[in-house]
Structure formats: C-alpha cells, structure tokens
Chain A
Amino acid sequence: MAMAMSEAIRPLKRKEYDRLVALGAFVDEKLELLEGQLVPMSPIGPPHSSAVDELAELLLPALLGRARVRIQSPFAVLDSSEPEPDVAVVPRGDYHTEHPSQAHLIVEVAESSLQRDREKQRIYAQAGVPEYWIVNVAGRCIEVYTDPGPEGYATQQAVDCDGSLAPRAFPDVVVEVRRILR
C-alpha cells in the first residue's frame, strides 16, 4: 500500500465520508475516519465491552439532564476525522442531523488498540476536547490526558486500580477504576 507518494495525498474529508456513509458504502464494515484515512476498527472483546457497559451505567444516571453520554457513536472532530469513541460525554443538544463536534470528555477503552488510542489523543486534543481517558485494559489503569493543544495533550497521568477519578467538568461523578476494570 504505497505511502511512498504521499506528498500529494488529499485527505478524505468528513463531509465526503458522511455522504458515503449515507449512501451505505460501508454498511458491512466498522471504520473510522482518522486524519483523512479510512481505518478499520479493532474487534471488541469481552473486557472491552464490559468496561464500556460499566462506564455507561456509571455516567449515564449521574449526568442525566446535565450532559449527553454517547456510546460508540461518531464524533465530528476536525475537517478530516470522524472517530467513534467508546464513550463521549457531550453537551446537551439535538444531534439528529449532525454529529456532536464538542465534548467534555472522551473515553476510549484499549484492549488491543492501545497504540492507536494513544495516537488518537492528538486528534482529540486538536479538536479541543478538554479531557481524554484511555481505559488501559492490559495495564489495569486509566490514563488521563488534559490540557489539549495542537500537538496533543500536555499533561498525562495514570490512575491505577485502587484509585478513582472524576471528569473535570463533573467533579461529583466519581469513577472507581476497579469497577471499570475487574
């Protein structure tokens, strides 16, 4: 697959990707648009699914009426990216005609996708998402990224299995790491 000639590559734009999605082009595929490229998403195993379930159970009731918790839904970052993060906490609003483009917090659960999720931090940071968590299944911790800038998040810390954390925007919503990662 020829990346050698990449100097003149024209990234696929989100609006073009959305039109292909609307035409049913990717119906049997799990893809994300990342920096203008179609990227297949890794298959999801039981620890991944369960971590997402736990996060949903924890976050949804606590944030009812304050924010919208979206699970594995498209997020309209930047002109040429449309990832589908495991969890996106977005402002309340009507997203029937357009995907949200702003978020309080994005969470990715990483089982086999750790490297990619760490690279995705650049995309979320560039989009101005103030806080990004990676639930690191293998490392049994949650990586917390804050202070977004054009190069990525400036601050990173890890909360291990005995710890707990809360989204900066909702400090009352405390997440115990051991509940997410059994």
Chain B
Amino acid sequence: MAMSSLSPEIRPLRRQEYDQLVELGVFEDERIELLEGQLVQMSPIGPPHTGAVQELNMLLVPPLVGRAIVRIQSPFAALDTSEPEPDVVIVPTGDYHRVHPSEACLIIEVAQSSLRLDRGQKQRIYAQAGVPEYWIVNVPDRCIEVYTDPGHEGYANCHVVAHEGSVAPRAFPDVLVEVSRILR
C-alpha cells in the first residue's frame, strides 16, 4: 500500500473525526486504534496476554475502588490525533459516559507480539499525552518495563522489574504488583 512516497505532508485523521466514524459503526467488525492520525490494526491477543490482563484487573481493581477507575482495553483520548486502547489504564475517578478519559495515573500494555509498537509509537504517544507512568508487561522476556518522566520525545527513564520482583504505581505505592503473579 504505502503512499509514503506520495506524502510530503499527510493530513492526520483527528480523534474527533475518528470518533464520528466509530459512532457511525464503520469499524464495527475491526480491532483498530487511532495512532498519530493513522488507523492501525491491533494485533490479535493470545492466552498469555489475556491472562496477564485478567490478573492485573483482579489485582488493581479492589485496592483502587473509590480512589481511581481501572479500565480494561478501553479507548484513551491521548492526543488530538491518537486514540489508543491500552490494555489497562488507571484514570482519575469521574464520569466518562460521554467522553473518553484524557488523563491517566498509569497505563499498562501487555506485549506479546506488539513489543516494538508498545516501546516505540505508543510509548511516545503516552509520554506526549503527559501520562506520568507507563508499564509494558513484556511476555517473552517475563518482566515489566517501567517508564517514567514523560516528555515530548518519550519517557526519560526506563527500568526493568524482573520476574522475581514487584512494582507499585507511583500514584498508589501501596498497590504492590508481583511480576510472577502477572506472568506465570
């Protein structure tokens, strides 16, 4: 496909336009995210991915009830031209019936085959959106990558929490996540 040769300037599709198409039901049978003005197909989800997301859900929801909302695979209104659907997003309590959240305390992506995308474009998008903390649950390497200090180019800091380790969101230091529980 790729009209990249043809595109000194491509006009990115905007989130607002994307949302209108979603509302019209045009993407009903597709798994798509809007990333930097492009429609991007989401990779299929395998059992280790689903398992990790479920564990995170069970671990995070109870201690955060009343303090934050844990959303699973829901759209996040990151930027004017991006609307990703992170695996887990912890957002401030509020009413999101009409608009998707645009602020988050923590975003988590579980990466089985999507590592390159999650470390590259997604990492940049979340940092640009000012999300203070971003985790990648790295399924093949059995660890969690923790990104902090967001800036325009991406997160300035990254450290890896190994399979025997544990990690807590900066915003909720009491909510301890053991890596071995997420990645069996």
Interface of A toward B, CB cutoff 8 Å: 1-6, 8-13, 15-16, 19-20, 23, 25, 29, 31, 34-40, 116, 119-120
Contact = CB atoms under 8 A, between A and B. Distances in A.
A19 B27 CA distance: 13
Given A3-B4, A38-B11, A40-B9, A9 B38 contact: yes
Interface centre among B6, B10, B36 (most CB of A within 10 A): B6
Contact of A35 (B1, B24, B41): B1
Interface in B90-105: none
A159 B120 CA distance: 49
Interface of B: 1-7, 9-13, 16-17, 20-21, 24, 26, 30, 32, 35-41, 43, 116-117, 120-121, 124
Given A8-B40, A10-B40, A20-B17, A39 B26 contact: no
B40 A5 contact: yes
B121 A5 contact: yes
Contact of B10 (A4, A19, A39, A120): A39
Contact of A12 (B20, B39, B41, B116): B39
Contacts of B32: 10
B6 A20 contact: no
A18 to B, nearest CB: 11
A125 B12 CA distance: 26
Contacts of A39: 3, 6-7, 9-11
